[in-house]
Amino acid sequence: MKLVRLCHAEAMLHQHRQRRYAFEFVASSLLLLAAFAALAYGVDRLPAADFMPTQSSLALGFVLWSFASTAYSGIAGETSDEVRGRTIEQLCVVATPLPVVLIVRCALQIIGALLSTLVLLHVAFFIVGRAVDVPFAPLIIILLVAAPSLVGLGLIMSGLSVLFKQAEAVNALMLLGVIALVGVPAYPANVLSILPFSHAAAWIIAEQSTLRLSGEWPRLLLVSGNAVFYLVVGIVAFDACYRAARRRGTLGHT
């Protein structure tokens, strides 16, 4: 019951923030789409080569990167905002553990990201002048199963923010790492598949129009196992950083 009330309260807070920062969201979205359009135009003007991505693969990669960035930044950004606003201590005195509060907030953002992914998919393919050829149901299911691995990375970054307060350089590197995770050749399964989200992204891009789940349950199990592993690592890392900050007496410092 407490969890239900928490989810409702956080949903109301999320809705309020979306209305409050609607202009920033629209402006940043338009800027990203303009940057993607410029990139797609530049790639289209380059000489054809085997290693060059197709326009549809480029559009799909952009959509996956957008989702991955949202899933990672959702929880990492929430913690950074709480630390900068010196409100992290208030969250720590509520009955619900802080990691649970952060995960609920991140889950709400992931749900929104999944819905916006369908819209962004059509917009990105429209920009490159291609018809959307990705089956929606397998795409959403794979992204939903793989998302906890990105939440785990966000929890690690959140722990560093709580412990060291100023960790913007590390966060910038993590955001660059998210781009790399979408682009690494982790399909079919190889050693790069141990990286978070990498195999799911490579699977979606490689299959694209033929993406399906029937007969692919071992692959989906690999993705889910990867996601659970990094989520557990993230929770453990966050808890260790949180306890260290409390021992130092610097939890509410900025």
Query: What are the two backbone dihedrals, phi and then psi, of residue 52, each rounded to the nearest 5 degrees?
Result: -80, 135
**CB neighbour burial string for 173-192, b if at least 16 within 10 angstroms, e if fewer:** ebeeebeebbbbebbeeeee
Q: Which amino acid is at 104?
A: V
Instruction: Tell me the whole-structure pTM to 2 decimals.
Output: 0.87
pLDDT for the residue 143:
94
Q: Does the pLDDT value for residue 92 go beyond 70?
A: no
Written as six digits, the tokens of 163 are 């412990």
Question: Which residues lie closer than 8 Å to 237 by C-beta, 6 or more apart?
Answer: 155, 156, 159
pLDDT for the residue 7:
76
Q: Mean pLDDT, to the nearest integer, of 109-127?
A: 88
Higher pLDDT, 154 or 106: 154
Rounded distance between C-alpha atoms, residue 123 and residue 178, angstroms:
22
Question: Which residues lie closer than 8 Å to 196 by C-beta, 6 or more apart?
Answer: 149, 150, 152, 153, 181, 226, 227, 230
Rounded distance between C-alpha atoms, residue 203 and residue 109, angstroms:
23
Give Rg (Cα) of the chain.
19
The secondary structure of 109-135, three-state, reads HHHHHHHHHHHHHHHHHHHCCCCCCCC
Higher pLDDT, 64 or 46: 64
Q: Mean pLDDT, to the nearest integer, of 11-40?
A: 82
Q: Which of 83-92, 139-148, 165-174, 178-187 has the highest mean pLDDT?
A: 139-148
pLDDT for the residue 70:
86
Q: Does the pLDDT value for residue 74 go beyond 90?
A: no
pLDDT for the residue 51:
59
Q: Where are the domains of the chain?
A: 2-248
Q: Mean pLDDT, to the nearest integer, of 110-133?
A: 88
Q: Mean pLDDT, to the nearest integer, of 177-185?
A: 88
Question: Which residues lie closer than 8 Å to 92 by C-beta, 6 or more apart?
Answer: 98, 251
Q: Mean pLDDT, to the nearest integer, of 62-77?
A: 86
pLDDT category at 250 given cuts 50, 70, 90 is low
pLDDT for the residue 188:
84
Q: Does the pLDDT value for residue 82 go beyond 80?
A: no
pLDDT for the residue 253:
56
Q: Mean pLDDT, to the nearest integer, of 181-203?
A: 90
Region of poorest pLDDT, from 48-52, 137-141, 232-236: 48-52
Rounded distance between C-alpha atoms, residue 79 and residue 88, angstroms:
8
CA 137 to centroid of chain Cα atoms: 19
Rounded to the nearest 10°, the torsion over CA 136, 137, 140, 144 is -170
